[in-house]
């Protein structure tokens, strides 16, 4: 028969101490992932640490009574679909995307003043406010056609201005889509088609006008050249030209008879064998 061993109650404090030590050690370590920063909160000291850089990527040991809040510091994006009013009071649906990231060195201040839900508390309201302000300056026609890039740049500038002291770096705002009421869209498209047809007609008229002007200048040039030529031609010059032409023809091997001085004004007459 195997004798029973008595439990050593003296080892209980050691076991409890070891468990407590393991728990405390586990609570005293934190790993900050890549692209993140850790904001340290000191329970028995200054609270949120804002006068030092946040905890960087990697493994850290902190006092077990302190806390570390992890923030993503890589570029992030939010997308918003908004109903806004144009300058003439028409409702426009606009989809926009913002690219942003927290200012790394000010992550502690962001945590202290805005909290972990800073996207919903700060960025989204800023983007909505800027979008309403900018769209309210333009008509639906401008929003639909030529002003898209201008509006996008203005929304970015307005949003960046609102976020300038909020410990957030705004990188870009993209207007993905602008949706107008169907009736307004059809009216704008019809108007744009009419404007395009008018421009095309004006272009054809301008082209025809330029062609007519070119022909007029060409005709005037020819008339002037003929006038100068007629004024310079005398009987002697014509006779000389006729003689030169006769000499050239006489060199041809085709049979011919040249009668000198028998034509009008004394010009030669050329008689062929045909």
Assign residue 138 the CATH number of its domain.
Answer: 3.30.479.30
Q: Are residues 59 and 84 in the same domain?
A: no
pLDDT, average across residues 129-157: 86
Is 228 within the bounds of a domain?
Answer: no
Q: Are residues 94 and 68 in the same domain?
A: no
Per the structure, the complete domain to which residue 176 belongs is given by 76-185
Of 38, 72, 106, the last residue of a domain is 72
Q: Are residues 56 and 113 in the same domain?
A: no
Beta strands 67-72 and 36-42 are antiparallel
Q: Are residues 28 and 110 in the same domain?
A: no
What would the pLDDT profile of 166-176 be if each residue is shown by its tens digit? 999 999 999 98
Q: Are residues 172 and 108 in the same domain?
A: yes
d(CA 55, CA 107): 10
Is 63 within the bounds of a domain?
Answer: yes
Taking residue 111's Cβ as centre, other Cβ atoms within 10 Å add up to: 23
Angle ∠(182,186,189) on CA atoms, nearest 5: 135
Taking residue 155's Cβ as centre, other Cβ atoms within 10 Å add up to: 23
Helix axes 148-162, 124-135, angle to 10 degrees: 140
Cα 109 from chain centre: 33
Q: Are residues 67 and 100 in the same domain?
A: no
Say if CB 235 and CB 244 are below 8 A apart: no
Q: Are residues 22 and 84 in the same domain?
A: no
d(CA 42, CA 48): 6
Mean pLDDT, the chain, whole residue set: 80
Taking residue 167's Cβ as centre, other Cβ atoms within 10 Å add up to: 21
Distances (CA, A) of 22 to 12, 18, 19, 64, 138: 15, 6, 5, 11, 64
Number of domains in the chain: 2
Is 174 within the bounds of a domain?
Answer: yes
Q: Which range is least confidently modeled, 1-10, 90-99, 237-246?
A: 1-10
Is 145 within the bounds of a domain?
Answer: yes
Consecutive H or E run containing 195: helix 182-232
Q: Indicate the pTM of the whole model.
A: 0.62
Q: Are residues 64 and 141 in the same domain?
A: no
Cα 222 from chain centre: 53
What would the pLDDT profile of 200-240 be if each residue is shown by its tens digit? 777 777 888 888 888 888 888 887 777 776 666 666 666 66
Q: Are residues 91 and 28 in the same domain?
A: no
């Amino acid at each position: 028969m195997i004798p029973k061993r008595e439990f050593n109650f003296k080892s209980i404090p050691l076991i409890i101490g070891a468990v407590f030590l393991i728990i405390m050690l586990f609570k005293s370590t934190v790993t900050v992932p890549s692209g993140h920063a850790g904001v340290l909160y000191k329970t028995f000291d200054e609270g949120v640490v804002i006068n030092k850089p946040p905890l960087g990527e990697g493994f850290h040991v902190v006092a077990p009574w302190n806390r570390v809040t992890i923030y993503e510091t890589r570029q992030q994006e939010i997308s918003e679909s908004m109903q806004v009013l144009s300058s003439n009071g028409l409702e426009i649906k606009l989809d926009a995307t913002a690219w942003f990231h927290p200012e790394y060195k000010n992550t502690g201040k962001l945590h202290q003043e805005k909290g972990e839900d800073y996207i919903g508390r700060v960025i989204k309201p800023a983007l909505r406010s800027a979008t309403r302000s900018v769209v309210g300056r333009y008509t639906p026609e401008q929003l639909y056609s030529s002003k898209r890039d201008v509006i996008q740049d203005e929304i970015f500038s307005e949003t960046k201005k609102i976020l300038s002291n909020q410990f957030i770096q705004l990188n870009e705002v993209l207007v993905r889509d602008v949706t107008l009421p169907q009736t307004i869209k059809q009216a704008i498209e019809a108007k744009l088609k009419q404007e395009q047809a008018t421009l095309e007609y004006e272009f054809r008229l301008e082209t025809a006008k330029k062609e007519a002007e070119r022909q007029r200048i060409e005709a005037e040039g020819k008339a002037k050249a003929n006038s100068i030529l007629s004024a310079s031609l005398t009987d002697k010059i014509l006779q000389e030209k006729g003689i030169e032409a006769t000499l050239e023809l006489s060199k041809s091997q085709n049979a011919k008879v040249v009668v000198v001085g028998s034509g009008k004004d004394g010009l030669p007459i050329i008689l062929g064998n045909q």
